[in-house]
Chains A and B, each alone.
Chain A
Amino acid sequence: MLDSTYIALIPVIPAISFLLIALVGRRYFPKLCGIAGTLSLLVSFLLSSVVACQYFFEVGKVEGVYQKIIAMKQVWLQFAPGVSIDMGILLDPISVMMIVIVTFISLMVHIYSLGYMKEDTRISTYYSFLSLFTFSMLGLVLSTNIFQIYIFWELVGVSSFLLIGFYYDKPSAVAASKKAFIVTRFADLGFLIGILILSYYTETLDFRTLIARLTTDGSYLSSIISASFIGCSALTWGLILVFIGGAGKSAMFPLHIWLPDAMEGPTPVSALIHAATMVVAGVYLVARLFPVFSISCPEALNVVAYIGIFSSLFAAVIACTQTDIKRVLAYSTMSQIGFMMFALGVSGYGGEKGLGYMASMFHLFTHAIFKALLFLGAGAVIHYVHSNEMNDMGGLRKNMPVTHITFLLACLAIAGIPPFAGFFSKEEILLAAWNSNKFIFYVAIITAALTAFYMFRLYFSIFWNKEFKPAHVNDNGVKETSSHKNHEGGISMLFPLIILAILSVIAGFVPFNRLVTSDGVELNTEFHLSFSIAPVLLAIAGITIATIFYRKQNNLPQKFSNSLNGFYTAAYKKFYMDELYLFITKKIIFNCVGKPAAWIDKYIVDGAINGIAGITAIFSDLIKIVQSGKLQDYAIYFISGVIGLVVLVIYWKF
């Protein structure tokens, strides 16, 4: 049987390491903080691997079905008997998969940061934030109830905010962290209302009970469906609101605007939080409530599917035009998460129909690996070039051979070229889409081709295109020739790249159909070779076009973008989403809501307070004349008082 204490240790160890580094280490052992954080993560990773092995191969399966096991449950906030918020640990295939992937990517990022952040003076603060994030993320995936997930949801939001704004002396980083926080908070409001609606009707917060009550016919289900608001049932509203929370965290259109800006944080953080783990929390949330979406409320699932496919295409188009390499990767992340979302959206529950669910989780798994690799590789490049712009790069393949090879492998993986990891998961997703919704399928393969194109555009622009001229200009204005002895950073930076590259190649062979499925039963999918031909050919076409355009410096891209003039500019400007948001907030919300509210606050609320204070002041002006400071005046008051009392006592008949 599983020993619950060491499962509990998996999230607790990073929490302890956060407290130790933040409270003690930061002041007394700043040099050791990185090592300490990395070691604690290593322990956590080993523990979660052990738990995963035990769960998947020993205790998880009962009669061929993976069970949901509550390994630990602690009543935490009790409002009344039976009404409480609990803290617990829920083990099921997706949470076990997530703890492994979170601790693994986090470990890789910790090791990488030892090299990447070496020269930063606030490295101890950085590691404490990383530990806080890892703790919150693990707590999130292990949550047993919807309120616990919300608590950790906010905690990952906070750590994301802290890490985006890590370079707080850069105004753009500060703005980006505020933007990320406000946008995701806005989405979390939807999530909270969704939680309240769902738990109000089902009278529980616990996932298992909630899912059971909402998927079987009974008084709970009929009451939540019969309650309706603007044409939709309360169930649909609740699920859509929960999905809005997930869409905010996972950067789905139209709440995606924070993700590209979040790239202001240190690059390893982008790899960990804004590519591999935190941003898939929205997918995880939908997957967690998937039976409810799928069985009781297909309308909400359709919303998930269409938002997912739209975001995916939208982001892929933008990614083709960006020149900041981290932004390209950010839009690519958004596009891939769109894939996961619509895969959930087209999926059904149980059996063959559950293919989309399995594919989505599979893609989440493989994407975490190769996207972390892409970001860490981009980090190495940025570390070397000291710039995020494609124009400053080119021809780096000779200078950074290891980064070059690993980056190429990751690009092949994300483009879906067999036999790399991305191929398998993407094929499953496309197959699921083909089986249920042809329209989504066609958009998806176009997006897949675009993915191949923009990834190889990125790859060729960084490593081929033109000769690399180091543009280091030192303080005297003299161009330095690159004088680094070790071009690619130390072993701590190369080691994670190599490990992740190996995994990007082999992760596709993990038998996901047997491990992670919607209902826990093994799902048999046969591999259709004929089906894969079209997507792979499209991906190869995308790569070929990218090769023609960007392998050597030429004016083809320029000509092509000129021929698409208006559309290209729009995509380059991210379809004016930021401007649209600014217009809505500044012009409409500020003028129509903000200003009247400010007026009421200033003249009515403040006016009432100031009025009371003013009246008091007038009275005090009247009274204070008595306080003359002259002793004899006081003596007169005193004596007249005494005389008055005497008169009262003598002449007043009591």
Chain B
Amino acid sequence: MNEIGLTHILVISTLLFFIGVYGFLTRRNMIIMLMAIELILNSVNINFVAFNKYIYSGKLDGLFFTLFITAIAAAEAAVAIAIIINLYRNYKSIDINDADSMKY
């Protein structure tokens, strides 16, 4: 019990993932939803790092994936914020429920 094992880290990562999903599904503010996505991505990152350390120690694949995901998340954040700004210009709101013009 005194040593932190893989399970602990996976539990943390799972919690983080579902917090992110919950936030994504319930928050109406698009910025907050974007932050929730970052939480989901980071929970995956934690998984990668943990598996790399405990199962394939000595290899670097997991670490590289983590770096990739971090970089792509940054790019994705930039694109997402640009989209949000454009939506704001059109709808004068960043509430996700106001942008429902794709309704049937």
Contacts and interface: CB of A to CB of B under 8 A. Distances in A.
Contact of B21 (A627, A628, A630, A639): A639
B24 A635 contact: yes
B75 interface: no
B103 A628 contact: yes
Interface stretch (B4-12, B41-49, B54-62, B94-102): B94-102
A635 B100 contact: no
Interface of A: 624, 627-632, 635-636, 639
Contacts of B103: 627-629
B1 interface: no
A630 B104 contact: no
A636 B21 CA distance: 9
A639 B104 CA distance: 21
Contact of B100 (A624, A629, A636, A639): A629
Given A630-B96, A631-B96, A632-B96, A624 B25 contact: no
Nearest to A626: B104
Interface of B: 21, 24-26, 96-97, 99-104
Contacts of A630: 96-97, 100
A618 to B, nearest CB: 15
B93 to A, nearest CB: 14
Given A627-B103, A630-B96, 19 more contacts: A624-B104, A627-B102, A627-B104, A628-B100, A628-B103, A629-B100, A629-B102, A629-B103, A629-B104, A630-B97, A630-B100, A632-B24, A632-B26, A632-B97, A635-B24, A635-B25, A636-B25, A639-B21, A639-B25
A628 B24 CA distance: 17
A351 to B, nearest CB: 86
Contacts of A629: 100-104
23 contacts: A624-B104, A627-B102, A627-B103, A627-B104, A628-B100, A629-B101, A629-B102, A629-B103, A629-B104, A630-B97, A630-B100, A631-B96, A631-B99, A632-B24, A632-B25, A632-B26, A632-B96, A632-B97, A635-B24, A635-B25, A636-B25, A639-B21, A639-B25
Contacts of A636: 25
A629 B97 CA distance: 8
Nearest to A631: B96
Nearest to B102: A629
Contacts of A635: 24-25
A630 B30 CA distance: 12
Choose among A624, A628, A631 the residue with the greatest number of B CB atoms under 10 Å from its CB.
A631
A628 B102 CA distance: 8
Nearest to B24: A635
Contacts of B21: 639
A572 to B, nearest CB: 69
Chain B CB within 10 Å — which of A624, A630, A639 has the most?
Answer: A630
B58 to A, nearest CB: 30
B23 to A, nearest CB: 11
A359 B26 CA distance: 102
Contacts of A628: 100, 103
Residue in B21, B101, B102, B104 with the greatest tally of chain A CB atoms within 10 Å: B104
A554 B99 CA distance: 94
A613 B26 CA distance: 39
Contacts of A627: 102-104
B55 to A, nearest CB: 20
Contacts of B26: 632
A15 B51 CA distance: 85
A632 B27 CA distance: 9
Contacts of B104: 624, 627, 629
A630 to B, nearest CB: 5
A632 B29 CA distance: 11
Nearest to A628: B103
A629 B96 CA distance: 10
B16 to A, nearest CB: 16
Contacts of B25: 632, 635-636, 639
Nearest to A621: B104
A204 B103 CA distance: 66
Contacts of A632: 24-26, 96-97
B32 to A, nearest CB: 12
Nearest to A624: B104
Nearest to B97: A630
The 5 residue pairs across chains A and B that have the minimum distance between CB atoms:
A629-B103, A629-B100, A624-B104, A627-B104, A629-B102
B39 to A, nearest CB: 14
A632 B95 CA distance: 11
Contacts of B97: 630, 632
A627 B96 CA distance: 15
A500 B25 CA distance: 96
A635 B24 CA distance: 8
A632 B96 CA distance: 8
B38 to A, nearest CB: 16
Nearest to B103: A629
B43 to A, nearest CB: 14
A630 B100 CA distance: 5
Contacts of B101: 629
B65 to A, nearest CB: 20
A436 B43 CA distance: 113
A388 B103 CA distance: 69
A499 B25 CA distance: 98
Contacts of A631: 96, 99
